[in-house]
Chain A
Amino acid sequence: GAVVSQHPSRVICKSGTSVKIECRSLDFQATTMFWYRQFPKQSLMLMATSNEGSKATYEQGVEKDKFLINHASLTLSTLTVTSAHPEDSSFYICSANDRGNEQFFGPGTRLTVL
């Protein structure tokens, strides 16, 4: 099956620093990737849809200047949390669309901001 990787799997940083998370589709090309956030004991909430070569589409209430998304190639999308604060601590999960419109999920990145 299609495999999606995320790096890093876990990151701890100080308040005010920026953190970059990578999402890669390993064995297929993904024209669209999605970024989700999951707070403890809650479900996944879509943050943004990332299309290769164009600007990401953000969900209502998600600050595009804080969560920078770059989808520079058909196998890589990055999410940068700029000037991270403790309230940004969460589990960030990406997914990628294959041609059949099925989404394949990465293993997630646990962000802890001190």
Chain B
Amino acid sequence: KQEVTQIPAALSVPEGENLVLNCSFTDSAIYNLQWFRQDPGKGLTSLLLIQSSQREQTSGRLNASLDKSSGRSTLYIAASQPGDSATYLCAVSTVETSGSRLTFGEGTQLTVNP
């Protein structure tokens, strides 16, 4: 059974800092890995999707890496801003007969202080 772990559970940084969020998964037979952002009481916003054959993806100030063999991914946020404050969720996808299945980590709650 796939298990996804995110470290740290919570992180508070001053504005402008670069930061790294970590995600690890137990079964390396994944189809892809996604990073999501969730604001309080809201749904999920997809940030980056990395296919299993890829090593990283970049979007603006965000960079996500994937090391499938070691079961790890990192989300790097450059020059953090107060608007980046949210919960960041990592999810890995496996393909089953019913379609893809996502397993989520518990999330990292990020607070960027002005």
A contact residues vs B (CB 8 Å cutoff) = 6, 31-32, 34, 42-46, 49, 51, 57, 91, 93, 95, 97, 101-108, 110
Closest to A54 in B: B98
Set of chain A residues within 8 Å of B103, measured between Cβ atoms: 46
B31 x A101 contact (CB < 8 A): yes
A101 x B93 contact (CB < 8 A): yes
A43 x B95 contact (CB < 8 A): no
B contact residues vs A (CB 8 Å cutoff) = 31-32, 34, 36, 41-44, 46, 49, 89, 91, 93, 95, 98-107
Q: Contacts A43-B89, A43-B107, A44-B89; is A103 near B98 (CB within 8 Å)?
A: no
A32 x B98 contact (CB < 8 A): yes
A97 x B43 contact (CB < 8 A): no
Q: Roughly how many angstroms separate A46 CA and B2 CA in the complex, as a whole number?
A: 13
Q: Contacts A42-B106, A43-B106, A43-B107; is A101 near B100 (CB within 8 Å)?
A: yes
Set of chain B residues within 8 Å of A104, measured between Cβ atoms: 46
